[in-house]
Structure 1
């Protein structure tokens, strides 16, 4: 999971891109990068760290031009420690191309070999995003041979890219002197939308909040398989480039990843989480009698809408029992399990009066590895809670995710191979209630009938791209162990 943004306008782009990345910071905290374009020349700055730390005044002054793109990175392929793998990536030919990518290619290794032996392109990092850039650059070169690189050539290249890539990808790229390109995989797994500013500037970004927070009005989502090409004078060209696109957005975006004030594929993330609270309430009532619960307490931040709606339906007080230190990052997306464990108590502190002598129902957006939930339950007990019940607005996470979320190893998932009672014992709760998979899909899908199915592989084990086999999952596990050991 990463956050990406691109813009074509007439005003300086550096501040706009910086502001958009701040709004997308929740999508990645490992590295940040911006590239701008002026008179066919690219200017780039990228480094490990948060946006506010990576970009100083001197860096911003060195990013001239009225168009550009940026990314906040959360590594799911390659190495979290390699600064060279921070994005954007650059290829000098053809024309000069810079690219940012959100997602994960499931056939990256096969493409890496193909690029070397057939396309004669060198890949210098372990990042699948550089592989994607290599494929895009090669297909742009093929489509543009002996011609200028206009919309027709760009769309022909993207059609060929779709034929070669497998997995999830939302991409924004700039072609030097030509314009901005944005496209999405044929399943639309990772989000991408675009809109316009009052001055006619065109922006594409992972979430609508990046557009609205920078003064751009959301026009619509980029459809699965669709490509958007914006010339440097602001002319927008759009074409469907995939043979059989099927909208299958990642449901974990609505559960946890996206900001609640965003709209993804026509669905309000906030309303989706309210709906998840409604369906979760039914599961709670069937497990814990409401009169055994004194209050409902969310685990900040993503679970708040679900917890609020659940409390309303149970007729119980909604209370803020945890105070979050906003200067500690989201533990789920912090690289490294040891860092996640240490950060839980730095991140949260209890309000003792909300726990002392009470039976509390804690509501979290999901339970992935279980270590955070165990720490939180223990914190509630230390604050004096008589009983601690735990409810998850998402179903059990039982399967690896291969589309850009940090869940590639079965062994890291608390729900894999364990019963509900075993999970409850591990986290130390007096009762544990999970969301139902079908209820989750209905709760979110009811908000947009056009969404016929979701990518929900971490919950149901079904991989929508149809190319993920058991040996692929085993390879991902080996790679993860190898990276963790370096």
Structure 2
């Protein structure tokens, strides 16, 4: 992705179902659970780099001894930092008792994070600051084990303020800045009530059935309770992903299927998807059930998971990204006038690579059809030279763009900083025939267009192609997200700025003020959640008109090389990714009322010149 956006988070949950002695005997280490947690988190490190945290609950601890532990880090490599510190603690123990790793009981008693219940989290900050205090898991402590709770999740809520009111809590400054703090208060509120009815044996299904209907947002959350029970739950629309694997040794859950498969070396069909509104609930004995907590709603799983966020090592995601690229082959062929001899194909590294393979496959299919037609048209007039020339024709592919390490500079003035931004990417010289070749590059999505204009288009222009075509495997991003992706300001979106520019070109800016007044009326009557009026901003224009204006906006003023932008269609997106139909960033069709409220609030902020979040 050329315009990096903060997104998602990663969740890792493990419940060991055997005593530590079992893992020592079978796998040669009592650290089996912690080792697997480390791998499960590392295999999802793409999902969060602002911080990480883990929590552990130990079973059957004598009264008066700690049973819930947590540690967090927000250094540059937080996962490594956390597990390095655990390793140092064990090394210190080995100084006094070299064979301590052979004694499960001693290890459990002396290593704080050696517990039967393990919860890990990777954070990308979309709400709150990036201080370590905002890293998950959050914990609530109590003298009663069953009222202790560690909670982490991959989510955003858009009704945080209302949640505090619903449970009659006056939030402090910290709680106001964290939606997890709000979620924690609500879940713990109902946990404490359930525990009062059945001390240390609260019915977690009842807790979740009372708490989660109050949440407006997309979420996968996991909680560890001090009595040894635990849960993993997914929102009713399935917006955020969740997968699980169960054997007689472990119960595992994570945000990505491939991470579980790799960590535990299991087949695709052994890792199941936690369906929308369902909770995986594990009791203190390690028995489990999957229960429908929220009523089934329309499935609206995030399509960005398939386009970009999740790692492409999952075979289904890989095939879907191939399909996304393949669907773009026809409009690209039309854009280059079917002239493959004078067209070079490349991609913006590195996340667009799989979609690029799909695009090239589409080109190869077309070229092979042409080869067959040409050869058949020759009849008996076939020579070895003609046949060799035709058979050897190939799609021209080059590694044009090279992404350098993040450039850091002491320069603060804007003009000099913009010069530095141009060099985020470098170019491979000698790959394009000057003033002869058209250059086609595919990106997985175009959000702000800033890097395209200030770096990529300028860089490609150095090769002097006759035309630059930028292809996006995602449709036009038009609307904010409020379910876990850090896209909340309308003015940041190149598609929105293109629509505004078209309004101004037509001399109809007054119409924008009319839309603004309609939105303000919704706000006045507390109806912002009822409909998405920002759709009216795009209504007069075709997708092609907006794409053409985007091409103008990402073209540096001094550049005389024509630039074209081609986007994925909504229809082809859904055909490529049939199980993840959440497309509100492209269509404005939000799955919950909070989405409408956020997009309308974002429009008010834009019209009033406020550079603040919409939620």
TM-score (norm 1): 0.86
Aligned residues of 2:147 and 2:195 also touching (Cα < 8 A) = no
Where does structure 1 lack aligned partners over 5 or more consecutive residues? 330-336, 446-450
1:262 aligns with 2:395: no
The 1-side partners of 2:304 and 2:192 are apart by: 36
The structure whose Rg is larger is 2
Aligned residues of 1:31 and 1:47 also touching (Cα < 8 A) = yes
The 2-side partners of 1:227 and 1:29 are apart by: 27
Cα distance 1:185–1:123, how it changes in 2: closer, same or farther (>3 A)? farther
The 2-side partners of 1:342 and 1:28 are apart by: 29
Deviation at 1:243, TM superposition (A): 2.1
Residue number in structure 1 paired with 2:458:
378
Residue number in structure 2 paired with 1:416:
496
Deviation string 1:196-222 (CA, Å, 9 cap, x unpaired) is 36x611111000122122115343011
Q: How does 1:221-240 map to 2 (within 5 A)?
A: 221-240=273-292
Deviation at 1:119, TM superposition (A): 5.1
Residue number in structure 2 paired with 1:71:
121
Aligned residues of 1:162 and 1:186 also touching (Cα < 8 A) = no
The 2-side partners of 1:290 and 1:131 are apart by: 56
Q: How does 1:151-300 map to 2 (within 5 A)?
A: 153-196=203-246, 200-215=249-264, 217=266, 218-262=270-314, 268-291=316-339, 293-300=342-349
Deviation at 1:482, TM superposition (A): 4.8
The 2-side partners of 1:398 and 1:391 are apart by: 17
The 1-side partners of 2:484 and 2:577 are apart by: 20
Residue number in structure 1 paired with 2:446:
367
The 2-side partners of 1:258 and 1:477 are apart by: 32
Residue number in structure 1 paired with 2:591:
464
Deviation string 1:166-197 (CA, Å, 9 cap, x unpaired) is 11110111111322210000000000110136
The 2-side partners of 1:21 and 1:477 are apart by: 39
Which one of 75, 83, 97 corresponds to residue 149 of structure 2?
97
Which of the pair is proportionally richer in strand? 1
Cα distance 1:185–1:97, how it changes in 2: closer, same or farther (>3 A)? same
Which of the pair is proportionally richer in helix? 2
The 2-side partners of 1:388 and 1:471 are apart by: 36
Deviation at 1:128, TM superposition (A): 0.4
The 2-side partners of 1:394 and 1:433 are apart by: 10
Deviation at 1:142, TM superposition (A): 2.1
Residue number in structure 2 paired with 1:55:
82
Residue number in structure 1 paired with 2:107:
none
Cα distance 1:243–1:343, how it changes in 2: closer, same or farther (>3 A)? farther
Cα distance 1:343–1:79, how it changes in 2: closer, same or farther (>3 A)? farther
The 1-side partners of 2:322 and 2:205 are apart by: 39
Q: Which moved more, 1:206-215 or 1:44-53?
A: 44-53
Aligned residues of 1:174 and 1:180 also touching (Cα < 8 A) = yes
Supply the RMSD in Å over aligned alpha carbons: 2.9
Residue number in structure 2 paired with 1:399:
479
Q: Secondary structure at the match of 1:26?
A: helix
Aligned residues of 1:191 and 1:249 also touching (Cα < 8 A) = yes
Question: How many residues are aligned here?
Answer: 460
Aligned residues of 1:43 and 1:64 also touching (Cα < 8 A) = no
Cα distance 1:108–1:389, how it changes in 2: closer, same or farther (>3 A)? same
Cα distance 1:210–1:342, how it changes in 2: closer, same or farther (>3 A)? farther
1:4 aligns with 2:11: yes
Cα distance 1:387–1:476, how it changes in 2: closer, same or farther (>3 A)? closer
Deviation string 1:372-408 (CA, Å, 9 cap, x unpaired) is 2222121122245443211001111011111111111
Which one of 425, 438, 441 corresponds to residue 552 of structure 2?
425
Which one of 273, 283, 306 corresponds to residue 355 of structure 2?
306
Q: Which moved more, 1:48-57 or 1:301-310?
A: 48-57
Cα distance 1:28–1:355, how it changes in 2: closer, same or farther (>3 A)? farther
Q: Which moved more, 1:344-353 or 1:159-168?
A: 344-353
Residue number in structure 2 paired with 1:443:
576
The 2-side partners of 1:4 and 1:212 are apart by: 15
Aligned residues of 2:336 and 2:438 also touching (Cα < 8 A) = no
Q: Secondary structure at the match of 1:352?
A: coil
Deviation string 1:43-98 (CA, Å, 9 cap, x unpaired) is 22212133355325224445322321111111111223x22111111112452111
Deviation at 1:478, TM superposition (A): 5.6
1:17 aligns with 2:25: no
The 2-side partners of 1:478 and 1:129 are apart by: 25
Cα distance 1:87–1:347, how it changes in 2: closer, same or farther (>3 A)? farther
Deviation at 1:462, TM superposition (A): 0.6
Where does structure 2 lack aligned partners over 5 or more consecutive residues? 1-7, 19-29, 90-111, 365-394, 408-413, 499-545, 556-561
Q: Which moved more, 1:412-421 or 1:473-482?
A: 473-482
The 1-side partners of 2:232 and 2:419 are apart by: 38
Aligned residues of 2:344 and 2:396 also touching (Cα < 8 A) = yes
Q: Secondary structure at the match of 1:404?
A: coil
Deviation string 1:81-123 (CA, Å, 9 cap, x unpaired) is x2211111111245211111111111112113334xx257767
Residue number in structure 2 paired with 1:127:
178
Aligned residues of 2:479 and 2:490 also touching (Cα < 8 A) = yes
The 1-side partners of 2:205 and 2:397 are apart by: 51
Deviation at 1:19, TM superposition (A): 1.7
Aligned residues of 1:290 and 1:314 also touching (Cα < 8 A) = no
Deviation at 1:134, TM superposition (A): 1.2
Deviation at 1:317, TM superposition (A): 2.7
Residue number in structure 2 paired with 1:138:
189
Cα distance 1:349–1:219, how it changes in 2: closer, same or farther (>3 A)? same
Residue number in structure 2 paired with 1:454:
581
TM-score (norm 2): 0.69
